[in-house]
Every structure is written in C-alpha cells, then in structure tokens.
Amino acid sequence: MHIGNARSSYQADEVIWKRPAHKGAMLLIILSLLILPFWIGPYHLMLMSQLGIFVIAIAGLNILTGYTGLISLGQGAFMGIGAYTTAVLATGYGFPPWATFPLSIIITALIGIGFGLPSLRVRGLYLTIATLAANVIIVFAIRKLEWLTNGDRGINIEPAVLFGVSIESELEKYFVIAPLALLFVLFSQNLFRTKIGRAFIAIREQDYSAEIMGINLIRYKLTAFAIGSAYAGAAGSLWAYFFTALTPNQFNLSQSILFLAALIIGGMGTTLGPLFGAVFVILVPETLRAIAGLITPYYPLALQATAPITEIIYGLLIIGFLIFEPMGLSAIWARIWRYIDRWPFTR
C-alpha cells in the first residue's frame, strides 16, 4: 500500500535516493564491502562471492518476472548456458576472460530470446510451464552435447587471468565479482528510469493496455527475455570461473526454483529485492549447517539432515511470504523507512 507517495513530476519519480539517509546507507554499505573482505576469512569471502553471483542472476530474473511479469522457471538453465559458454571457450579455444564474459552474455541473451518466443502467444501459467520445459531441455542438451561439454563428467576450467594476475584466491575472486554485481544492480535500477523499463512495467500491469498505448509487445517482451538471460549469462560466466568445476546438474530445475524463491522472498519488482533474497537463500543453509554442527555431538545424523531441512525451509519460506507478505522483504524494509520518516507521527 503506497500512501503519501504523491509525486508531481517525472523527476520526482525518477529519483534514486529518496532520502539523504538512503545515500548515506548506500555509502556505508559500499565502504563496508571494500573493507570487510580483509577482515573475514576465506570461507566467508567465498560466501560473499557466491552472493554476488546469485544477486546478478536474481536481478535478471527480477527484470523478467518482477518488472515485466513474465514468470520464468528457466533462469538456472540460462545461467548454465552462460557458464558452459565460458568454460568451452576458455578451455577449448583459449579465450581470455575479457572475451568469454561478453560472449557468454550475448550467446545466453540470444538463446533467451529463442525460448522467449512462446511468451508472445501465452502468458502466466503456460509461460511458466514453457520455461520449465526449456530448463529441462537445456540441461539435457548440455548433457548430450558431449563433444562440446564433456557431458556428465563436467568441465574443469583454469582460473581467469586479468591484467596479468591469475584470479585464484578468494579475495581476488571477490574483488572481481563484487563490483560487477554492484554494476548489474545499478543497471537494473536505472533501466526502470528509461522508456524500455517503463514499457516493461506497463506490460506487467496489463499487456493489452500497454499495446493500446503504443508499446510494441513483441519487441519489449523479447527485450525483457534478452536482458534477463543476459544477466543469467553474466552470472554463469562468473560461476564458471568461481567454482571452476562444472557439471550439468548444477543448473537443473531446483536451481531455477531457488532463484524464483529468492526473488519472492526478497520482493519482486524492487531493486533491493534480489539482494535481500540472495542473502536469505545463502544464509539459510549456512545457519542450518552451523546448528547441525552444534548438535552433532548429541545427534550424529544431524549433518545429514541439513539438506532436506534446507529444502523444507525454502519451501515454507516461499509459502509463508506468498501468504503473509507477498511483496517480500523489500516491503518490510520500506515499512521500516516509512516508520522512521514519519516518526513521531507513526502508529
């Protein structure tokens, strides 16, 4: 519920920093992202890098599902395309990272457009099923193109070399991934201040009305698929360099469901949603593992049970958020700010 958000000009609507405090908070976050890595150990650094990759992939899904309203259960597989493009180009043909990264983005975007074609005829439920089918088919194709992808045995790729430095330690990886993640989030924030982004939102609200108002549905829906998949491609490319060992199973349907879950938990159609969601889905298994570590002395099977319990908690979180807080953590975040804003006149 938006109350008291009356804006009288486009400029007011386009403002990124709605409050000075926002700007301060952002600066604080960036500063801590710069300093923190030197304090925390390699394990937490690894989690941070993984978080960065997840944020990119989920931000792409956010553009597609959150802003344009095209529900996709295929983001995991698109990330797989990006990862495999990078891996094949880097190991098979010796491409350097500055070439594989953009190429992965472009190729994933093109394939995304291909699988986005059904979105021109169908919406909602049918599109969900179509993207689900696309996910299964893509993973199957990766598995079957053995001469290219090495099938189920997977690919190992060499660490990326940037400016003569081999990116191997967790700290180096972090300082490649984190700025890129920030850049991609910033791009998605700015996208919705442009004509294209506004067209996306119009399509989400009601695609017929959007068409009547002069928005070319074919073009913009496919653009949304292209951008969403491009994000997945970028995330995949980083994933390849980050995890170094790829197998097709990493990109199956459960990965896509995880991304969609993160988006719902974080809040669809908001810039910060993907960030909140990614933090959440990474923290849940970590917390559980920590708890399991604590109780293992008393109950030796605890560690074994974490995987299914993680699944259960993801599921329950999605259900809980959908029923009680459909706009996700972002809505809670906004509510907190509103409270601070209007204090002491808040209820």
Partner 1 sequence: MNELLYIVEDSLTGLLTGGIYALMAVGMVLVFKATRVVNFAHGTIMMVGTYFFFSFSLLVQQLGLSFWVSVPLALLSTGLLGMFLERVLMRPLLGQSVFSMIMVTVALISVLEGLTILIWTSDAQYPPGLFSLQISFIWEAAVNMQLFWGFVIALSLFVLISIVLFLTRIGVALRATASDQATAYSMGINVPGVFGMTWMVAAMTGCLAGILLAPLNSLTPSLGHLGLSVLAVIILGGLDSLLGTLIAALLIGWLEAMTGHFLGGDYREVMPYIVVLLIIVIRPYGLFGSKEVERI
Name which of 245 and 307 has its Cβ closer to partner 1: 307
DSSP secondary structure letters along 53-113: HHHHHHHHHIIIIIIT----S-HHHHHHHHHHHHHIIIIIH---HHHHHHHHHHHHHHHHH
Residue type, 167: I
Residue 73 half-sphere exposure toward CB, CA atoms < 13 A: 18
φ and ψ at 325, to 5 degrees? -145, 70
**Could you tell me how far CA 4 lies from the centroid of its own chain?**
31
Kindly state the smallest distance separating residue 265's Cβ from partner 1, in Å: 11
Least separation, in Å, of the C-beta of 238 and partner 1? 26
Give CA torsion, residues 251, 254, 257, 259, to 10 deg.
-50
Shortest reach from residue 339's CB to partner 1, in Å: 26
Phi, psi of 161 (to 5 degrees): -115, 115
Structure token digits, residue 196: 């294209």
Please identify, using beta-carbon distances, which residue of 180 and 317 lies nearer to partner 1: 317
Our CB check for partner 1 shows the closer of 99 and 282 to be 282
Of the pair 220, 314, the CB lying nearest partner 1 is at 314
Taking the complex as a whole, the smallest distance from the CB of residue 235 to partner 1 amounts, in Å, to 21
143 vs 83, 157, 242, 247, CA distance in Å?
14, 17, 21, 8
Q: Are the CB atoms for 282 and 50 separated by under 8 Å?
A: yes
Nearer Cβ to partner 1, position 239 or 314? 314
Distance of closest approach, residue 243 Cβ to partner 1, in angstroms: 23
Give the DSSP letter of residue 75.
H
- Considering beta carbons, is residue 167 or 281 the nearer one to partner 1? 281
Is 194 or 287 the residue whose CB approaches partner 1 more closely? 287
Taking the complex as a whole, the smallest distance from the CB of residue 327 to partner 1 amounts, in Å, to 11
Which H/E stretch holds residue 156? strand 155-156
C-alpha–C-alpha distance, residues 64 and 61, integer Å: 5
- As measured in angstroms, the least distance from the Cβ of 51 to partner 1 is 21
Q: What angle do CA 28, 29, 32 make, to 5 degrees?
A: 85
Q: Kindly list the residues in this chain that would bind partner 1 in the complex (CB under 8 A).
A: 71, 73, 117-118, 121-122, 124-126, 128-130, 132-134, 136-137, 140, 144, 206, 208-209, 253-254, 257, 260-261, 264, 305, 307-312, 314-319, 322-323, 326
